[in-house]
Amino acid sequence: MKEVLKLVFVLFIVSCTSVKGPNQPTFGIVIHGGAGTILKENMTPEMEHAYENKLAEAISVGHKILKEGGSSQEAVEKTIHVMENSPLFNSGKGAVLTAEESIALDASFMNGNTLDAGAVAGVKHIKNPISAAIRVMKNSPHVMLAGEGADYFAANQGLDTVPESYFITENRLNDLRRVKKRESDQKVSINLIEEQYFKNQRIGTVGCVALDLQGNLSAGTSTGGMTNKKWGRIGDAPIIGAGTYANNASCGVSATGWGEFFIRSVVAHDIAALVEYSGLTINEASKRVMKKVKDLGGDGGVVVLDTKGNVAMEFNTPGMYRAHMDSDGNLEVKIYRDE
Ligand code: ASP
């Protein structure tokens, strides 16, 4: 009898220590690598594995930082570096090209604890634009810097710089030539812009939202924008409230999709506002806002995390490269809608 009581006591202690109470600190991380018409029939098993492995590698970097007590800011920055350094995604190396066959990278970051934020748009020489966004937040009196000034500022901050050629890949040059050919064939550029989106010439923006053990959320997004972009076009990714938002009072959001619609719908802030002011769950809020984007004619998706570690990965496209890892290390990596 004594032995049984002892066993019950031990089991009670184990259950108390292994099951997280409602107020026990937790952490989590969620990422995306772009949304669009990503269909299984257009993928080879090799490509699938390449994406899945890179997403798993990236999220594991951030997860390790969080597990060891590091900040959500560091987790977001280092996780995004892995994807920016991979030519698989439309950010950093392998980003899509402008109409001039050049590079113009956009990125933004927001700290959900302080509501500090930073962004860069149209940079050409900073190897990891997400770090430039963080430096703008930390070391400048501004929120957003663009063009040469942003490159100059980031280089002065000691960030790694590279020649434009570092970012440019053969695949992206071919994409650009194909899009340009269609444009000259059709001579109707507004229709072409729509068509370009449906033909996935911008898929691969990357983003990350993390929650650290201190209970702080951070979100970041990094992209090359859209193929054949002209006139200094800037999308939603570097715009705080459209492509990125984080607030400990609600949630952190990183978006990907047709930037013009995401700007007009102020997607990231809209989701956070629904959570904060209307008490919606992050799932309800994301669904509602992505429907709004769809009704306007736009497509894309979001990844969202709240301070309890709840996650939402919502998109209105056939696929979104995405991954989530909770504090127990449970990893989920997905590409298509029906997974
Ligand atoms: N939102 C990005 C842009 O419009 C592209 C994307 O995420 O697919 O620049």
pLDDT in tens, 212-230: 999 999 999 999 999 999 9
- Kindly tell me if the per-residue pLDDT of 167 is higher than 70: yes
Structural domain count, the chain: 1
- Range of the structural domain that residue 317 is part of: 23-336
Interval between CA 275 and ligand 1 midpoint (Å): 24
CATH number at residue 296: 3.60.20.30
For 107-148, how does the pLDDT look when each residue is reduced to its tens digit (9 = 90+)?
Answer: 999 999 999 999 999 999 999 999 999 999 999 999 999 999
Per the domain annotation, does 1 fall within a domain? no
- Is residue 15 in some structural domain? no
Residue 188 has pLDDT above 70, yes or no: no
pLDDT at 181: 82
In ligand 1, which atom is closest to the CA atom of 36?
8
Does residue 47 fall inside a structural domain? yes
Please determine, for residue 14, whether its predicted confidence score (pLDDT) is greater than 70. no
pTM of the predicted model as reported, rounded to 2 decimal places: 0.91
The closest residue, in CA terms, to atom 4 on ligand 1 is 259
- pLDDT computed for residue 2 by the predictor: 53
| Residue 6 covered by a domain | no
Residue type, 66: L
pLDDT at 207: 98
DSSP code of 301? Answer: E
Answer whether residue 281 is part of any domain: yes
Residue 18 in domain: no
How far apart are the CA of 235 and the centre of ligand 1, in A?
6
**Whether 268 contacts 254, CB under 8 Å:** yes
Question: pLDDT tens across 52-80, in order?
Answer: 999 999 999 999 999 999 999 999 999 99
Distance CA 267, CA 240 (A): 10
Q: If you average pLDDT over every residue of the chain, what do you get?
A: 91
Task: Decide which of 185 and 6 is more confident.
Answer: 185
Closest by CA position to 147, among listed 241, 234, 236: 234
Query: Cα(9) to centroid of ligand 1, in Å?
Result: 55
Pocket mutation for ligand 1, best pick of 205, 227, 303, 321 (most atoms within 8 Å of C-beta) = 205
Q: Is the pLDDT of residue 38 over 80?
A: yes
pLDDT above 70 covers a percentage of the chain that reads 88
Looking at the annotation, which residues are catalytic? 205
10 domain-assigned: no
Pick the closest to residue 88 from 260, 204, 193 (CA basis). Answer: 204
Domain assignment present for residue 176? The answer is yes
SS3 303: strand
Which residues surround ligand 1 with Cβ inside 6 Å?
34, 202-203, 205, 223, 225-226, 235-237, 256-257, 259, 262
